[in-house]
């Protein structure tokens, strides 16, 4: 999946000459969504090399991947909030423990002075 995202990101930075099929010199307007392929293809590639594969329009594929990324970002945001809340709770608990330890140390020191 990571390879797929890198490929789509790379696709947005390539020149016009790079968006032509190396075999047919046609625009790469389609995306072969088969797990073993995961690449841009031209219309002429479909019947020969990708006839039984699941092929999508590149714009549809980009929208689909953006939606997946946005969902992942939402989950990451929720996890970040949960972690932040847990860290705050741990901090409060740690301070409470340190205060009790400090009070116990003061009590012992005071008791030793009195003896």
Q: What is the 3-state secondary structure (H, E, C) of 56-81?
A: EEHHHHHHHHHHHHHHHHHHHHHHHH
pLDDT band, residue 11 (cuts 50/70/90): low
For residue 15, is pLDDT > 70? no
How many structural domains is the chain composed of? 1
- 52, 26, 22: which is closest to 37 by C-alpha? 52
Give residue 92's domain range: 2-114
Mean pLDDT, rounded, for 15-34? 86
List Cβ neighbours of 29 (8 Å cut-off, separation of 6 or more).
42, 43, 57, 58
Q: For the domain that residue 28 is a member of, what is the CATH number?
A: 3.30.160.60
Report the pLDDT value the prediction gives residue 9, as an integer from 0 to 100: 56
pLDDT value of position 40: 95
| Structure token digits, residue 75 | 């989950």
Identify the pLDDT of residue 113. Answer: 80
Alpha carbon of residue 101 to chain centroid: 43
Provide the pLDDT confidence category of residue 12 given band limits of 50, 70 and 90.
low
* Tens-digit pLDDT profile for residues 42-84: 999 999 899 999 999 999 999 999 999 999 999 999 999 999 9
């Amino acid at each position: 999946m990571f390879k797929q995202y890198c490929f789509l990101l790379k696709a947005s930075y390539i020149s016009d000459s790079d968006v032509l099929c190396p075999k047919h010199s046609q625009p790469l307007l389609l995306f072969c969504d088969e797990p073993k392929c995961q690449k841009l293809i031209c219309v002429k590639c479909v019947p020969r090399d990708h006839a039984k594969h699941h092929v999508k329009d590149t714009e549809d594929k980009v929208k689909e991947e953006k939606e997946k990324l946005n969902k992942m970002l939402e989950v990451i945001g929720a996890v970040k909030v949960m972690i932040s809340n847990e860290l705050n709770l741990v901090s409060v608990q740690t301070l409470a423990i340190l205060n009790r330890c400090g009070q116990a140390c003061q009590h012992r020191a005071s008791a030793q002075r009195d003896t």
